[in-house]
Structure 1
Amino acid sequence: MEKSLSEHKLVTDAADLAPIAEAVRGAEAVGVDLETTALSPRDGRIRLLQVATPDETHVIDVFEVGDLSPLKEALEDGPVKVGHNLKFDYSFLKDEHGIALSPIFDTMLAAQLLAGGNQSPAFSLEAVAERELDRKLDKSARREDWSGKLSEAQIEYAARDAAVLLPLREKLAERLREEELLRIAKIEFAAVATIAEMELAGVKLDVTRWKELEKVVRKRRDEKALELDAQFPEPEGMLPLEGLGPRLNLNSPQQITDAFRTLGIELADTKVWTLLKVDHPAAKLLLEYRELQKKLGTYLETYPKFVDGKTGRIHANFLQCRVPTGRLACTNPNIQQIPHEDEFRRCFVAEEGYTLVIADYSQVELRILAEVSGDPAFVEAFRNGDDLHRVTAATMYGVTMDEVSKDQRSAAKRINFGLMYGRGAKSLSAQLGASEERGRQLIDEYFANYPKVRSFLQKTASRAVRDRTLRTIAGRVRKFGDSGPLDDKGAMRREAMNYPIQGCSADIAKLALVYVREDLKSLDARLVNCIHDEFVVECREEIAAEVAERTSAAMTRAGEAILKKVPTEVEVATSREWRK
């Protein structure tokens, strides 16, 4: 008969922790779960630690027990610690008790990997347990107060959440093995510790400098609005109202369309691609205005609100497997999408006595394209240490490498990345400011020089439409499904062309997160941000050179573990501010 998931023992005496530690060490795997008084370790504390062995679930009242150090060795070594969204549990245990869970099996990440990038199935513990085990978990106690006297219902709820993890792990591990996802799952599980510690570390924003920048950008925005407004004729019988700002509501598509009509320009819409094709200063000014408005609304006006009052730092939330390619995503706030201009990035600084080591992979996605396509010109360029954008420009424009102009290299860069993302002549020509015919000509010339790149992209797109499944070199799977938005074959083909490349880049970055943490563990250094293929480490100033060397070596090792035909190159810089 199947053992009840609710068999449990409430632990309120610290003397009982040693036997629990012994039981943990004797198990192959244990379920681990927490109940906390808040969702952030900076705002709350651990109330219950549930540890489920095959024989019994121990519900430890941490308010009563206090010190969890008797469990530290067992939780940091030995059997697999099974949990759901273990980044949460890891963060609380690390911050409050200095316990770093290891090794781990995260049932949420496993379920997300098996979903192959589809976000339609729910990934809560309740949903995954019902889907995989056909067991319904009563989650009614989830929103109750965990800081006061606990009811028996709360204790049973906590015990069930931990006990279900062991059978859930068995089922998910079997499926991971069947779908050949064990390698990528191992990388994802190992990266949890790094991501949790990166969130705990946070990044320091110089709020004073940020607010000064806000004033500067607001002034630019207002000046741009007036400059744009002046492009349109005054309505008949109306004189300009000096100093009262623009007449147009620049956020109204209808007013913008009407205004352009007064210039003899009919706009189908006011989207970026439409405006890029308009040969009039007003179109360029409108795009510049929108960019400044976005910088104000998305970044400058909002980011200071995320500075934690206790730490003085921003602690963003990194989403590990939310994006189909496997790349990290970020919310509250999204510190991966800070504008690239130095005036923004220099507002992110190191603490006094510390500095930032900024390391990023050089042209990693193009190196992956060389790896997976096997195009000899691509591979040779990277083996020779050449700048691929310059090589492409020289080939396409019929000039020597030394004769390539800045504009030619920029155009080649757009083409290199654009075609990899499945862009056609229409979008590419708009981006280059050229005619659609010229865009088509450039694409033909490009693929004539790199025929294996074209072959790879076409075959990959066709395979996705036919099989509805693609994999990266390391085995991460993308399942396209049979319905929904991707039933549009064009959209599927475009995503398919890029998936093996961007997905592989994510695999390398996740592995690098693991290696960098391991190699910096003994130093006063910590990862504070990861922007896809760029890592930011904060360390003591006097060890910056050593940290830079170790970080570069760890990232290179991760690249070499996956890429075999082309070399991996990492560029490193050191600065008190987040800029190179």
Structure 2
Amino acid sequence: MKRDPADVACTYIAGEAQLPELEGALSAAQWIAIDTEVPIDGAAAGELRVMSVATRALDGREQAFVVDARDVNPTALAPLLTGVTAAAWNANFDARVIDRAVFASSDTTTGLTWWDAQLADALIFQGQSGVTWFHGLAWATRHYLGIEAKGKGTTQLSYTATGDLSCDQIAYAAADAVETLWVSDAIRAEIAAADLELITEIEMDARPFLDQMERTGLPFDWPAWQEELITIERENRVVLGRLAALTGGGQGTLFDDITEPTWNPASDRMVRQVLNRWAQDEVLGWTGRRHGERRLLNDMDSLTASELKEIGGPLSETLLEFRNHTKILSTYGESIHEHMHSDGRLRPQYLQVIGTNTGRLASRNPNAQNFAPRMKRHFRPPGGDRVFVHADLSQAELRYLAQVAEDAPLRAAFARGDDVHVSTAASMFGFDRDQLAKDDPERLKHLRQIAKALNFGIAYGTGAAALSRSLTAEGSPTTVEEAARLLAQYRITYPGTAAWAEQRIAEVKEIRTETSAIDWTVTMRLARGFSTVARIRREFRQSQGRYPSAEEVAGLHPSQHLQTADRLVAEVDWLLGYSAPVALLDDGTPFTFSSRTLAGRRQQFNLHLDRLFLDAVLAAIQSESPELMRVRSRFEADHGVVLHHQTVPMSTAELSKQFEDRSLRHRYIEAIRADLGRNVIIPFLERSAQERVSAMVNAWRNAPIQGGVADIMLSAYADLHQRLQRYPSARPVQTVHDSVVIECDHPDATAIGHEVQAALEGAMRRFCPNVVARADVDIRASLADSDVVQSLSGSEPSGTGRTEQGSRMPGSNGPV
């Protein structure tokens, strides 16, 4: 029987005389959930109007409380909430509202501890196809509890700063808290069943530090950057002139004396034509190396930065300059200014769990992890006595690899404190590093570059061809055969790493065989119905401000008159249970395989039908079977696409372009099934499923490394959040993958630097106890490396009388 939040007794608190009743419920509670409601416009937009609380006592009794902040001074709630741990749905939102109103602070406070059910839910779904953002509470109540949340998009948006609360508003607020309490129960159970408890704890503990980072913001000198943008625009004009000179001249303008090219360097089509004419030797050399055939570029050849780098020559190099300048001007110009706050700071958002499949943080509005290098010197603390403490966890991914691969030589290199790339080169090529540095520093640099490509390439699945291209583009010409020999030598140098990488490949080969369990009947059922239901749901959300129920979707479905209402609602309800069209097992669960980090983070892999169908379709089109060729001809005529040239077969890239409309892929599958039967199309689907698994081998191999380092950094953030409480001047302002930046008063910087070093290295030791940890720390006047004031690397952290927070290995009960 479905539960109803309205059945939980609710107390409306409109005066401070009623607070003892809430205090008693909080004191006796085993579990607590808190939610807030705020006005969405006006002077009080975003400020607390209602705090709702749901509690469950040890005897199972549940209560709800709705506190009206118009009539109750929010600061009176501070003693009641101090020391409480409460579940929330999107804790960052509720924490900021309550910190401002209850604790009178713009900073992250330590009085109230939050357990973010939304974040825990994201961990359950991490990596699954179609899950690209956090789920809402309404979705969660439907998914976990089977009930439809009421009032979303209506009552939810009706709160004002001073108006009397209606019965609907009180009931809605209470229901939100009760639903959060119940949903949290279900999520905790799934977290435990999936063995995600440790990584959930790590994410929860890191959240306040990242919340504080967002609140503080990153100081940015916009006027100085505006001046730099003008300089970059002038530089780009000069680059345009060079492009014109390299391609036979151009035409002048009325604005300056620069001659612009007569072609558009922002057009890939025109760039291909220009390279074919004016850099023909470089193009023929590149296509010969890349494709085994010396030819000119065609419309199917992509021209990414790495490919232009591989082609090489003056024209490609100048095109890269043009792209760099235009990227800065378009991405970091006025669009950055839109995110500036009145206090001269940018406040990027940092996304935990969602945004990357591996567990690394993502950033947006703006992306604080991808600023142009030229911007860095303009990020500087205000005033004359504020500085940045910048810390980087040195070669974190390689150290984590050394741990999981149990590679003794690699661990030994880190233990010696070597430059691990030089150490790798010396082991592979047999030279004395000190002597070579003295006799031939350029050769040492060349060999280090090769070793660096190998060190990072082995974990990411770099093969001989890719290594050859990479080294050649970096100025170390290397044939595929030479690259293959380098990889073989690397495997001898680091046998543990090589064995680990081969084991990951073997695991994927085993997973390939498991695709035989895919049920193609139920999978095609999902493929047929998903897109229509997803479209209706999306359009309803855009127009109504909430997600529709299964009944509402069925009422808008184009086939509502072709089947009974109950049957259509049941089918819609089934389809709404999926985030994307993926391959399914016979019980309707997605075909899934998962990778884990040492902390238990789970990255899940599904087989999305869009690409699976495309591969199956391309294989069927390229078949020489007369029956399949007839299907191809009929499909060309019916859908106005070209799938075969008269003289030569179309390339895979050309065929793929014909199926950019993803619905055509499904239609082609259905055309084969209708004309030739299920037994003809199923083998194509089965082979495609196996190939899709194989295509994920590099992501599979990399998942525990990137995810593991993300776990280490999150653990360090949690430790830092506690350590920095002793330094009132310290605020976190940025993190980029394996680095973190703290803004503080200059006199505190050295001590804070040691705290940061201890936190980062302690977090590394927590998960990699057999590898020496190292964090490089410095004090700087801006984010630019050229503005380093003092390096703290190599010095011991100051004694603080503290142990590394949570320094236990997964599965252990005590400190290492």
TM-score by length of 1: 0.92
Distance of 1:3 and 1:271 partners within structure 2: 55
Distance of 1:407 and 1:469 partners within structure 2: 38
**Is 1:271 aligned with 2:293?**
no
Once the two structures are TM-superposed, the CA of residue 256 in structure 1 deviates from its matched residue by 0.9
Residue 481 of structure 1 corresponds to which residue in structure 2? 606
Equivalent residue letter for 1:527: P
Q: Which moved more, 1:510-519 or 1:203-212?
A: 203-212
Q: Which moved more, 1:565-574 or 1:407-416?
A: 407-416
- How far does the alpha carbon of each residue in 1:168-196 deviate from its partner, in whole angstroms, 9 at most, with x for none? 12211111112111111111111121111
In structure 2, the CA distance between the partners of 1:351 and 1:376, relative to structure 1 (3 Å rule), is same
Once the two structures are TM-superposed, the CA of residue 2 in structure 1 deviates from its matched residue by 7.2
Q: Which moved more, 1:315-324 or 1:20-29?
A: 20-29
Residue 565 of structure 1 corresponds to which residue in structure 2? 770
Once the two structures are TM-superposed, the CA of residue 331 in structure 1 deviates from its matched residue by 0.5
Equivalent residue letter for 1:70: A
- How far does the alpha carbon of each residue in 1:389-431 deviate from its partner, in whole angstroms, 9 at most, with x for none? 1112223343222225223323322322223222223333222
Which blocks of at least 5 consecutive residues in structure 1 are unaligned? none
**Is 1:20 aligned with 2:22?**
yes
Equivalent position SS for 1:195: helix
Q: Could you say which structure has the larger radius of gyration?
A: 2
**Is 1:203 aligned with 2:205?**
no
Is 1:320–1:327's contact at 8 Å kept on the other side of the alignment?
A: yes
Equivalent residue letter for 1:28: Q
Distance of 1:108 and 1:153 partners within structure 2: 25
Equivalent position SS for 2:70: helix
Is 1:257–1:269's contact at 8 Å kept on the other side of the alignment?
A: no
Q: Which residues in structure 2 correspond to 1:217-232 (within 5 Å)?
A: 217-232=232-247
- How far does the alpha carbon of each residue in 1:437-465 deviate from its partner, in whole angstroms, 9 at most, with x for none? 33333222222211221211221243256
Once the two structures are TM-superposed, the CA of residue 367 in structure 1 deviates from its matched residue by 0.2
In structure 2, the CA distance between the partners of 1:324 and 1:295, relative to structure 1 (3 Å rule), is same
The count of corresponding residues between Structure 1 and Structure 2 is 572
Residue 525 of structure 2 corresponds to which residue in structure 1? none
Is 1:465–1:492's contact at 8 Å kept on the other side of the alignment?
A: no
Equivalent position SS for 1:346: helix
In structure 2, the CA distance between the partners of 1:461 and 1:131, relative to structure 1 (3 Å rule), is farther
Once the two structures are TM-superposed, the CA of residue 356 in structure 1 deviates from its matched residue by 0.9
Pick from 43, 46, 57: which aligns with 1:44? 46
Distance of 2:380 and 2:401 partners within structure 1: 34
Equivalent position SS for 1:37: coil
Residue 282 of structure 1 corresponds to which residue in structure 2? 315
Once the two structures are TM-superposed, the CA of residue 262 in structure 1 deviates from its matched residue by 1.7
Distance of 2:468 and 2:608 partners within structure 1: 31
Equivalent position SS for 2:122: helix
Is 2:339–2:366's contact at 8 Å kept on the other side of the alignment?
A: yes
Equivalent residue letter for 1:401: R
Is 1:41–1:96's contact at 8 Å kept on the other side of the alignment?
A: no
Equivalent residue letter for 1:526: R
Distance of 1:465 and 1:96 partners within structure 2: 56
Residue 29 of structure 1 corresponds to which residue in structure 2? 31
Residue 635 of structure 2 corresponds to which residue in structure 1? none
Equivalent position SS for 2:783: coil
**Is 1:512 aligned with 2:716?**
yes
Distance of 1:303 and 1:155 partners within structure 2: 41
Distance of 1:42 and 1:533 partners within structure 2: 39
Residue 190 of structure 1 corresponds to which residue in structure 2? 205
Pick from 745, 767, 776: which aligns with 1:540? 745
Distance of 1:41 and 1:456 partners within structure 2: 59
Is 1:426–1:439's contact at 8 Å kept on the other side of the alignment?
A: yes
Is 1:88–1:196's contact at 8 Å kept on the other side of the alignment?
A: no
Is 1:90–1:193's contact at 8 Å kept on the other side of the alignment?
A: no
Once the two structures are TM-superposed, the CA of residue 38 in structure 1 deviates from its matched residue by 4.5
In structure 2, the CA distance between the partners of 1:314 and 1:33, relative to structure 1 (3 Å rule), is same
Equivalent residue letter for 1:245: E
Deviating beyond 6 angstroms after TM superposition, the runs of 4 or more aligned structure 1 residues are: 39-43, 238-241
Residue 125 of structure 1 corresponds to which residue in structure 2? 137
RMSD over aligned CA atoms reads 2.5
Equivalent residue letter for 1:154: Q
Distance of 1:531 and 1:95 partners within structure 2: 28
Q: Which residues in structure 2 correspond to 1:343-362 (within 5 Å)?
A: 343-352=374-383, 353-362=385-394
Distance of 1:493 and 1:472 partners within structure 2: 16
Distance of 1:239 and 1:508 partners within structure 2: 56
Residue 681 of structure 2 corresponds to which residue in structure 1? none
Is 1:21–1:71's contact at 8 Å kept on the other side of the alignment?
A: no
**Is 1:304 aligned with 2:346?**
no
Q: Which residues in structure 2 correspond to 1:325-474 (within 5 Å)?
A: 325-339=358-372, 341=373, 343-352=374-383, 353-402=385-434, 403=436, 405-433=444-472, 434=477, 435-464=479-508, 466=510, 468-474=593-599
Between the aligned residues of both structures, percent identity stands at 27
Is 1:214–1:301's contact at 8 Å kept on the other side of the alignment?
A: no
Is 2:156–2:172's contact at 8 Å kept on the other side of the alignment?
A: no
Once the two structures are TM-superposed, the CA of residue 101 in structure 1 deviates from its matched residue by 5.9
Equivalent residue letter for 1:349: R
Is 1:31–1:163's contact at 8 Å kept on the other side of the alignment?
A: yes
Q: Which moved more, 1:220-229 or 1:379-388?
A: 220-229
Which blocks of at least 5 consecutive residues in structure 2 are unaligned? 57-61, 104-108, 284-295, 438-443, 512-592, 613-688, 786-816
Distance of 1:195 and 1:11 partners within structure 2: 33
